[in-house]
């Protein structure tokens, strides 16, 4: 199984400041045939299911604000929120869909400083 490891486990950032979360996979999730990374990011608020933010490592899902961006390739990825808003308080997960079983990171709890 591909193990996904996020850091940090929790993060406190001031409103309007940048927040960055990293995710490392135990093996590459890059498809060499089309140069796409099978890596997604989700946001989960209390009592709600996860919400897809980004797929193919850097493609924002429909309706996701452009302050959210994803980057990275191979085994190392980053989710960046360029200017933190109050509504961004949540737990964030990365997930690989390169090969089954499809695995998730342990989550990063993002709070306001």
Partner 1 sequence: QVQLQQSGPGLAEPSQTLSLTCAISGDNVSSNSATWNWIRQSPSRGLEWLGRTYYRSKWYNDYAVSVKGRISINPDTSKNQFSLQLNSVTPEDTAVYFCVRRGGDRTFDIWGQGTMVTVSS
Q: What residues line the site for partner 1 (CB under 8 A)?
A: 38, 40, 42, 48-52, 55-56, 61, 93, 95, 97, 100-104, 106-107
Q: State the Cα–Cα distance between residues 3 and 33, nearest whole angstrom.
A: 23
Task: Dihedral sign for Cα 31, 35, 51, 112, please.
Answer: positive
- C-beta of residue 95 within 8 angstroms of C-beta of residue 4: yes
Q: State the Cα–Cα distance between residues 46 and 35, nearest whole angstrom.
A: 35
Looking at the Cβ atoms of 71 and 104, the one nearer to partner 1 is 104
Q: How far is the CB of 97 from partner 1 (least distance, A)?
A: 5
Q: How far is the CB of 103 from partner 1 (least distance, A)?
A: 7
Q: How far is the CB of 16 from partner 1 (least distance, A)?
A: 30
Q: State the Cα–Cα distance between residues 38 and 51, nearest whole angstrom.
A: 17
Looking at the Cβ atoms of 16 and 49, the one nearer to partner 1 is 49
Looking at the Cβ atoms of 6 and 84, the one nearer to partner 1 is 6
């Amino acid at each position: 199984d591909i193990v996904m490891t996020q850091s940090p486990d929790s993060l406190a950032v001031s409103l309007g400041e940048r927040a960055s979360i990293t995710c490392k996979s135990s093996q590459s999730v890059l498809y060499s045939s089309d140069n796409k990374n099978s890596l997604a990011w989700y946001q989960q608020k209390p009592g709600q299911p996860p919400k897809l933010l980004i797929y193919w490592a850097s493609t924002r899902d429909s309706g996701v604000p452009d302050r959210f961006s994803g980057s990275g390739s191979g085994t190392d990825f980053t989710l960046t929120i360029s200017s933190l808003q109050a509504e961004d308080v949540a737990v964030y997960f990365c997930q690989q869909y390169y090969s089954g079983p499809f695995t998730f990171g342990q989550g990063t709890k993002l709070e306001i400083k």
